[in-house]
Amino acid sequence: MAWASSRAGAAGILALLLARAIAAEPAAGVSGQVAAATSPAVTGPQSAALCNDYRGLPEGFGPGRAGRPNRAGLVRLAGGTFMMGSNQGYREEREVHRVSVAGFSIDRHEVTNAQFATFVHATGYLTVAERRSTSGPPGSAVFVPPKAGGPADAAYCWWVWVPGADWRHPLGPGSSIAGKDNHPVVHVAYEDAKAYADWLGRSLPTEAQWEYAARGGLDGTAYAWGNVPHPNGREMANIWQGRFPQSDSKADGHAGTAPVGCFPANGHGLYDMIGNVWEWTEDVYRPSHIAAPAVNPLIATREPGSIPGDGNAAYMARVIKGGSFLCAPDFCVRYRPASRQPQEVSVSTIHVGFRTVLNR
Ligand SMILES: [Ca+2]
């Protein structure tokens, strides 16, 4: 398979296809039309200090180390017990089970380009997408809407491997992040996210920590803000509106990534846990919650063969959470706290980013 501008199908895109094989089926009870009687519960501070006026760096942001971590931009969450997963969503979200997590702190918003640039400037770090490997030139996966009248139904034809695409050049050579200091960094592989977290003296969230944080204190609701997808007609997260993948109507005001903090914070004061970009977690992906531990769970080992096409001994997928600007009511209803998806650790894309936690 040639790398140059090839359509999805290159080895590095394999995980995306596997993930979408899981993602493609409709899920009972989670369509965009779902509306329950529960009132919307939008709480927490609003985003006046973030979004367009934000420069992308929390006050006091800078290097840390394991013994003295940097705490800028963190929100402290008390420990607690919640119901993790969903029995109404996609099959990999089952079963709902009671989970307890100890107190921890988590980034108020997704890691921004400004934050990642500070890290790279200080360390000289080179992301996976920027490194030449034996399998091809540097590059990453970019979303390209199919042309009108084209084979829109071809499996995941909207993913294009673009040589030269990386966090500084989200759409490939010629593109840039100028003016996007406050957008979430993208095209970061799992080890890139880990390296950044290490530099701060922090960690990546476990899936349980992430879901506990995303629920914002609302236990058992379908969405992070309640059971109504659009309370009072309001767009609550940066997702896709319109017919996917042909046309994003931008009803939420954004196509592609949005600056962090443009949508209401959840009940914990956290922004964009849902939508904008998917977020890496520390957990190795398994296709259900069956037999998961109940206290501070962390899935550290995979189950070979548990993911369709997973015949490669070196294959390793971790859980990503929250959905992205590419999640649509008619395609991937994964803009919910219980949603989860496998992402091959070495693959970066234009719609996966991350945030960090501090476990002390
Ligand atoms: Ca997000």
Structure tokens at 149: 């009248």
- Compute CA distances 186 → 48, 68, 113, 225, 350, whole Å: 24, 27, 8, 25, 5
Q: 117 C-alpha to center of ligand 1: Å?
A: 19
Residue identified by tokens 């979303």 is: 143
Alpha-carbon distance 228 to 214, whole Å?
A: 16
Alpha carbon of 281 to ligand 1 centroid (Å): 12
Rounded Cα gap, residues 20 and 14, in angstroms:
10
Residue 118: φ, ψ to 5°: -65, -45
pLDDT of 174: 96
150 CA distance to ligand 1 middle (Å)? 30
In the reported structure, the alpha carbon of residue 32 is separated from the centroid of ligand 1 by a whole-number distance in angstroms of 18
pLDDT tens for the chain, 360 residues: list them: 222 333 333 444 434 433 443 344 444 444 433 333 333 333 334 445 799 999 999 999 999 877 899 999 999 999 999 999 999 999 999 999 999 999 999 999 999 999 999 999 999 999 999 998 777 789 999 998 887 666 655 667 888 999 999 999 999 999 999 999 999 999 999 999 999 999 999 999 999 999 999 999 999 999 999 999 999 999 999 998 878 887 777 887 888 999 999 999 999 999 999 999 999 999 999 999 988 899 999 999 877 666 665 667 667 899 999 999 999 888 888 999 999 999 999 999 999 999 999 998
For residue 238, how far is its CA from the centre of ligand 1 (angstroms)?
A: 9
Q: What are phi and psi of 53, to 5 degrees?
A: -90, 0
Neighbours of 250 (CB within 10 A): 15
Nearest one of 88, 81, 90 to 26, comparing CA atoms: 90
Whether the CB-CB separation of 111 and 120 falls below 8 Å is answered with no
Look at residue 27 in the predicted model and tell me its pLDDT.
47
Task: Round to whole Å and give the CA distance between 191 and 280.
Answer: 10
Start-to-end C-alpha separation, the chain = 47
Q: Where does residue 175 rank: exposed (0-12), middle (13-18), buried (19+ CB within 10 A)?
A: middle
pTM of the model: 0.87
149 Cα–ligand 1 center, Å = 32
Q: Which two tokens stand for residue 130?
A: 């920027």
323 CA from centroid of ligand 1 (Å): 7
Residue count (the chain): 360
State the distance from the centre of ligand 1 to the C-alpha of 244, rounded, in angstroms.
19
Residue 56 Cα to ligand 1 middle (Å): 15
Cα of 1 vs centre of ligand 1, distance in Å, is 32
Does an H or E element contain 353, and which? Answer: strand 352-353
Amino acid at 343: Q
Find the 7 Cα to ligand 1 centroid distance in Å. 26
Measured in Å, residue 257 CA sits from the centre of ligand 1 at: 10
Give residue 172 CA to ligand 1 midpoint distance, Å. Answer: 22
Count Cβ atoms below 10 Å from residue 42 Cβ, excluding itself: 18
Alpha helices (H) along 202-260: 207-215
State the Cα–Cα distance between residues 268 and 94, nearest whole angstrom: 25
C-alpha dihedral (197, 200, 202, 203), degrees to nearest 10: 0
